[in-house]
Structure 1
Amino acid sequence: MEYKTPQDLLNKLKDISTFIFDVDGVLTDGSILSTEDGQSLRTFNIKDGYALQLAVKRGYHLCIISGGDGIAMRKRFEKLGIKDVFLAAGNKVEIFRKYIAEHSILPENVLYMGDDIPDLGIMKLVGLPCCPADAIPEIKAVANFVSPYNGGKTAVRDIIEKVMKIQHNWYDEQPNAADSGK
């Protein structure tokens, strides 16, 4: 479904119960630093992390599906409380279908943010396909929301905050400053 007006998009945000994100190019800027011992290092944004952990605390389904992999990535998501993490994913659509079936989630209640060709299949299946500002043109063409922010530069925070604000779930009466450092 294409959202013709800002009001259409706002109405769709009210239906979101599930956030699914790619990693490289969405939660990171897409850069990978390779160490001499073969490790791949990525930089994550602390503001995205705050939004992710708050969404988990508020009871949203939160899932990561990425072709990338690494111990540091797994530890990062674990610290944020994200339990449904699928790394080294070959067939993202297959993982998506299995995930929503196991959790009895309707595709129209899913927000997915991707940035490149491997994300295209899922984006065509969800209720709210999104992407960062620096996504490739093919992804922008199917996205119903393009964040004004680049991948790894708070695009994830941007869309989570929009959903949670419209659903009156954003503000934390007693925020824990340590949550930002996860």
Structure 2
Amino acid sequence: MGNFKEDIALTEAFVFDVDGVMTDGSIMPLPGGDFLRRYNAKDGYALAYAVRQGYRVCVITGGHGATLERRLQMLGVKDFYMDCMDKIAVMRSYFEREGIDPAHVIYMGDDIPDLECMRMVGIPVCPADAASEVIEAARYVSEFKGGRGAVRDIIEQVLRARGDWARSSIGVTPASMDPQR
């Protein structure tokens, strides 16, 4: 573990939690069992941009619902695991399948269930409003809160460190609107 800026330039994959990271943590239960969540458009743009630039993005969450699944599909995220109660097992399987070194993975979480995952990777990060235990475990704490730009913050930093940020905006639209699909 070296300098943070040097380490993020070696990032092989991003792994994100959802509630409290990609959202502010608020959910509104719907009668059919799904939930409404509020997402940040700039976080979504950065996620879609990273995917289009060829970065590996994985989402592992205890959350579930058709609207969440649709959101991830629209952003082009292919590796996502919902209603997950054993994030470590999923991460191990994902890293093995993809040939990813956990030392070069960024994991962004915000609460106690994320601590074990954060300890498994080389670059644990969190939003500004994460639980105090998570902030203590993080190598980097975004100045932004969950659902308010924290995801964009870390993605932009990595892509800037690698010279990939704002390289091209062509094709960065929701996957559902991609004419090549």
Residue identity in the other structure for 1:126: V
The residue that corresponds to 2:89 in the other structure is 94
- The one-letter code matched in structure 2 to 1:71 is A
Q: Is the 8 A contact 2:33 2:65 kept in 1?
A: no
Of all paired residues, the percent bearing the same amino acid is 43
Shift of 1:177: 7.1
Say which SS state the counterpart of residue 30 (structure 1) adopts: strand
Q: Secondary structure at the match of 2:58?
A: strand
* Cα distance in 1, alignment partners of residues 26 and 35 from structure 2: 10
TM (normalized to structure 2)?
0.92
Distance 1:177 1:78, change over 3 A: closer
Aligned pairs for 1:111-126 (under 5 A) are 111-126=106-121
Relative to total residues, which structure has the larger strand share, 1 or 2? 2
- Note if 1:10 corresponds to 2:5: yes
| Letter of the 2:12 counterpart | S
1:80 aligns to 2:80 (yes or no): no
Q: Distance in 2 between matches of 1:54 and 1:12?
A: 21
1:163 lines up with 2:165 in the alignment? no
1:36 to partner: Cα distance: 3.5
1:127 equivalent in structure 2: 122
| CA distance in 2 between partners of 1:178 and 1:57 (Å) | 9
- The 1-side partners of 2:173 and 2:80 are apart by 22
Distance of 2:54 and 2:163 partners within structure 1: 13
Specify which of 39, 53, 78 is matched with residue 58 of structure 1: 53
Distance (Å, rounded) in 1 between the aligned partners of 2:56 and 2:116: 20
Segments of 5+ residues of structure 1 without an aligned counterpart are: none
Aligned residues: 177
Deviations 1:127-165 (A, max 9, x none): 100000000011011100000000000100000000000
Q: Which runs of 5+ in 2 are unaligned?
A: none
TM-score normalized with structure 1 length: 0.92
In 2, Cα distance between equivalents of 1:50 and 1:15:
22
Please state whether the residue corresponding to 1:31 is helix, strand or coil.
strand
**What's the C-alpha RMSD, in Å, of the aligned pairs?**
1.8
Q: Which residue of 2 aligns with 1:40?
A: 35
How far apart are 1:34 and its partner, in Å?
1.6
What do residues 31-64 of structure 1 show as CA deviations (whole Å, max 9, x unaligned)?
0012234331101111001100111111111000
Deviating beyond 3 angstroms after TM superposition, the runs of 4 or more aligned structure 1 residues are: 172-179
Q: Which amino acid aligns with 2:7?
A: K
Deviations along 1:54-95, one digit per CA (max 9) or x if unpaired, are: 111111110000000000010111111100010000100110
